[in-house]
């Protein structure tokens, strides 16, 4: 599918975001291994989260999805999943395969799990190493790539120091920790999103968290819950970008999750001069949520690196686009992880910004985008990466001439209805 974006000033209106992708994955997985019924309102429409539901269904978890995005899961208990005769298909979803592996490592049966062409190129040794230390046996292509065959069983608790800052890996180890005899601990080099810890507590498990260390005791029973998923900040980020850049805009983003490990996009942009008002903060299932009012503003630019990176890891495509309209440009470093996302995001960003006529320097671990640039509308290659499709749709709003997003359907991996929501703001 091709979508043409015409330049447009003055976005105005309210946007209701899809339910948070990261939170929805975790609630679905925990609901499946809890006892009793879990009812989740505002479950993500994201295709990735529906891949998680499909994998759980193949292991005989009864799941009902209603048209109002309410999902009801009949929990099977920690050891109540049934072996699947089919290979589980995580499709494009790294979160599904990596986090679910933690649960599969604790089952008394073997499971094969794979995904689409992009997922089959993403590294899995990061979860294989700790889960193997815990006693699971995992087969992979070249020791690193899906399909994975996970032979689960009784697990040993470990204390695992994460070699890369990754919430997916932290979560896989914590979920496996539910099946270990004793206390499993994860030490993070840099704080990442703590959705798993919050969700585990919501389901009644005790989780100890102290600065960079999180521990969970094995054998704790989870109880089904009723909860509501916050709006997805990573989806909201494209509208924060669009309203900041498109002259004369004022947009309200409703019920957006502001998890402390995720809100970097709001804090960083505010520090660079963006106008983002946080209205009425409250809690949804332990997660902070607020409405955001975003008005057009100039951005200074600056450097983003080190501990800031995990806070904005999914927002770098939109930050790079915004950098072109800043005063001083933006340099992003220590972000080598971007090379192993849904596409090599450093390459995908650099190539598309250059195609729009921008001055960009590429590094192994990041990029430097010059400020005050006129972008030229062109054909954008998404590399089947949802965040590239949406970030460059925003670039198209401030470019000269039309911008054509090729393969735009991939936006549905996290945000079905994104292009329609953007059109609506043009009024
Ligand atoms: C996620 C963690 C991040 C992020 C991904 C979702 C999560 O991945 O990029 O989109 O829900 O835990 P890593 O853990 O690989 O950094």
Alpha-helical runs (H) found in 123-250: 125-133, 167-177, 195-202, 233-245
| pLDDT of 285 above 90 | no
Q: Which fold has domain 21-224?
A: UDP-n-acetylglucosamine1-carboxyvinyl-transferase; Chain (3.65.10)
Matching CATH topology for 2-18+230-425 and 21-224? yes
Does domain 2-18+230-425 bear CATH number 3.65.10.10?
yes
Boundaries of every domain in the chain = 2-18+230-425, 21-224
Average pLDDT over residues 206-222: 97
How many angstroms does the Cα of residue 378 sit away from the middle of ligand 1? 30
| pLDDT of 205 above 80 | yes
**DSSP-based three-state secondary structure for 333:** coil
- Average per-residue pLDDT for the chain: 98
How many angstroms does the Cα of residue 165 sit away from the middle of ligand 1? 9
Tell me whether the omega of the peptide bond preceding residue 147 falls within 30 degrees of 0, making it cis. Answer: yes
How many angstroms does the Cα of residue 95 sit away from the middle of ligand 1? 6
| pLDDT of 13 above 80 | yes
The catalytic position among 48, 89, 232, 314 is 314
Helix axes 386-397, 418-426, angle to 10 degrees: 10
Ligand 1 within 6 A of 313 CB?
yes
Who's near 123: CB < 8 A, 6+ residues apart? 144, 145, 340
Q: Is the pTM of this model over 0.85?
A: yes
| pLDDT of 256 above 90 | yes
Report the pLDDT value the prediction gives residue 402, as an integer from 0 to 100.
98
| pLDDT of 427 above 80 | no
- Per-residue pLDDT of 37-53, as tens digits, reads 999 999 999 999 999 99
Determine the Cα–Cα distance for residues 110 and 340; give it in Å rounded to an integer: 27
Determine the Cα–Cα distance for residues 57 and 62; give it in Å rounded to an integer: 6
- Per-residue pLDDT of 76-100, as tens digits, reads 999 999 999 999 999 999 999 999 9
| pLDDT of 146 above 90 | yes
Q: Among this protein's residues, is 314 annotated catalytic?
A: yes
Residue of 99, 102, 168, 264 best suited for mutating to test ligand 1, as the one with most atoms within 8 Å of CB: 168
């Amino acid at each position: 599918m091709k979508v043409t974006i015409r330049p447009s000033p003055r976005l105005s209106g309210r946007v209701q975001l899809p339910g948070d992708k990261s939170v929805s994955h975790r609630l679905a997985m925990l609901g499946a291994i809890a006892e009793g019924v879990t009812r989740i309102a505002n479950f993500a429409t994201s295709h990735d989260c529906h891949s998680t539901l499909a994998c759980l269904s193949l292991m005989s978890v009864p799941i009902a999805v209603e048209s109002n995005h309410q999902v009801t899961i009949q929990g099977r208990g920690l050891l109540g999943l049934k072996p699947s005769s089919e290979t589980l298909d995580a499709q494009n979803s790294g979160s599904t395969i990596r986090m679910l592996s933690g649960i599969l490592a604790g089952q008394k049966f073997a499971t094969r799990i794979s995904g689409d062409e992009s997922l089959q190129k993403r590294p899995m040794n990061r979860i294989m190493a700790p889960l193997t230390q815990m006693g699971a046996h995992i087969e992979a292509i070249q020791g690193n790539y899906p399909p994975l065959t996970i032979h689960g069983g009784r697990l040993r608790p470990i204390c695992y120091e994460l070699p890369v800052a990754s919430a997916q890996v932290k979560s896989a180890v914590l979920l496996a920790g539910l099946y270990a005899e004793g206390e499993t601990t994860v030490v993070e080099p840099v704080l990442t999103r703590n959705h798993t810890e919050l969700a585990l507590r919501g389901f009644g498990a005790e989780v100890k968290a102290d600065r960079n260390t999180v521990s969970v005791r094995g054998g704790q029973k989870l109880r089904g819950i009723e909860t509501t998923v916050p709006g997805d900040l990573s989806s909201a980020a494209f509208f924060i970008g669009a309203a900041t850049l498109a002259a004369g805009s004022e947009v309200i983003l409703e019920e957006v999750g502001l998890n402390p490990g995720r809100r970097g996009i709001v804090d960083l942009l505010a520090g660079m001069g963006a106008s983002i008002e946080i209205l009425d903060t409250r809690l949804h299932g332990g997660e902070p949520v607020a409405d955001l009012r975003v008005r057009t503003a100039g951005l200074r630019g600056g450097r983003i690196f080190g501990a800031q990176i995990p806070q904005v890891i999914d927002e770098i495509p939109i930050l790079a686009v915004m950098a072109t309209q800043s005063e001083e440009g933006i340099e992003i470093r220590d972000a080598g992880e971007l090379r192993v996302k849904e596409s090599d995001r450093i390459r995908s960003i650099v190539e598309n910004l250059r195609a729009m006529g921008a001055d960009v320097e590429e590094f192994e671990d990041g990029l430097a985008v010059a400020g005050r640039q006129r972008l030229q509308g062109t054909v954008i290659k998404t590399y089947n990466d949802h965040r590239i499709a949406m970030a460059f749709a925003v670039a198209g709003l401030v470019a000269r001439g039309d911008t054509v997003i090729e393969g735009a359907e991939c936006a549905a991996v996290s945000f079905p209805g994104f292009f329609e929501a953007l059109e609506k703001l043009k009024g």
